[in-house]
Amino acid sequence: MPDRPGTDATLDLSMRVASVAAPVRRQVAKVLRGAITSGRFAPGQRLVEKDLCELLGVSRPSVREALRELESEGLIEIIPNKGPLVKRLTAADAASVYQVRAALEALAARLFVDCASDAQVAQLADAVETLAGAYATLEVERILAAKQVFYDVLIEGTGNNVLRSMLRSLNDRITLLRRVTLSSPERARESIREIRDLLAAIQRRDADAAFEVSLHHIHEAAKVALKGL
């Protein structure tokens, strides 16, 4: 596993940060976050500030600020005498994430039943069909993108901004764990069945059933992820 993220003789420009109105630190954090959740920077990989500055085309203070932000999100850890490393999620880390995720997403399912309009329910059904198509391909990136759309619609329908914020703070670690569960074709088939069950409960406007189906879905995903770590 390489220690340095940018060692090619030809500089890779695909991660260059554009000069736009948003603070550079925010742009750098977004790019690095994507590199970690996509697997471009592997768990345990050293993130050398000098290399990151060259790779992203930004100053060292901007990189340091972004790294501190990612540390607070649990995506990297800073080790004395080594510097920042992409954090390896342990089984204990994963279990904690799934405990919180289960509680929040089950609540989201209940709130969606109570608060979402008929149009939002229809939008969620469309998202489920798109997700089913993505699962059929077994292409991880396509599934992840479709899952994000599904959950965006679900959370939007709750009308709860605090819940949205809390789930957003977990999103990157959830994405890393989804990559583990998506390595199992059997789990992929089970997952879409569970999501269809959730949609059916929502379409019936059965808040209790939606809550329980969502809990079951996350608990089953947790079992696969914990075995894979």
Which domain-ending residue is among 86, 106, 136? 86
CATH number for position 58: 1.10.10.10
pLDDT at 21: 40
Q: Give the distance from CA 144 to its chain's centroid.
A: 8
- The boundaries of the domain holding residue 46 are 24-86
Instruction: Count up the domains in the chain and report the number.
Output: 2
| Sign of CA pseudo-dihedral 73, 77, 80, 81 | negative
- Checking if the pLDDT of 117 tops 60, the result is yes
pLDDT tens sequence across 5-41: 544 434 455 676 655 545 888 899 999 999 999 889 9
pLDDT at 38: 87
Q: Are residues 141 and 34 in the same domain?
A: no
- Checking if the pLDDT of 181 tops 90, the result is no
Q: Are residues 104 and 39 in the same domain?
A: no
pLDDT at 6: 47
pLDDT tens sequence across 48-85: 999 999 999 999 999 999 999 999 988 999 998 889 99
pLDDT at 133: 96
Helix ranges (H only) for 10-139 are 24-37, 49-56, 60-72, 91-115, 118-137
Q: What is the chain's mean pLDDT, rounded? A: 89
pLDDT band at 186 (very low <50, low <70, confident <90, very high): confident
pLDDT at 22: 55
- Region 156-175 average pLDDT: 94
